[in-house]
Amino acid sequence: MTTWFQKDPIPEAETWLEERYQQVSGGDDLKFIKVAALISLAFGVSGPAELLLASGGMLAQYFADSDGIDGIISVLSGVQLAKRKYKTMAFPAMLESYKLLKDVKAGKIVSKQSLTRTTIFVTGWLAARYKYV
């Protein structure tokens, strides 16, 4: 006979939380982390040209068979790196590094999405470096 205090509620609660997270995130492990990265980058935006460039990055990443959020994160990270806004671009840069490491471990170093992300990042960096944004 077991009593309520002999059961370990932690695995049950953990399983329940993981199931709820999968329902809310639609299977994407990084959905909420991407939103946090976007919020961080939003504090560093300094003009409408950056927003327009972010829209272009979103479209480019969307047409590379991905959600456009990665494109926004990449281009704004590049812009803010060139403008030396390290406080707002640090978390998104770590997220991008994590995605790169995950791709390398999966054996897909060069893929359509990773090339697009890198190109978008460099485009944002160059646009800020040469004062287009």
DSSP track, 72-133: HHHHHHHHHHHTT-HHHHHHHHHHHHHHHHHHHHHT-SS-HHHHHHHHHHHHHHHHHHTT--
Mean pLDDT of 119-128: 95
Tens of pLDDT, residues 7-61:
555 667 777 777 776 776 666 667 888 889 999 999 999 999 999 999 999 999 9
Please compute, for residue 19, the number of CA atoms within 13 A of its CA located in the half-sphere on the CB side: 6
Domains of the chain, by residue range, sit at 29-129
Mean pLDDT for the chain overall: 85
Mean pLDDT over 95-110 rounds to 83
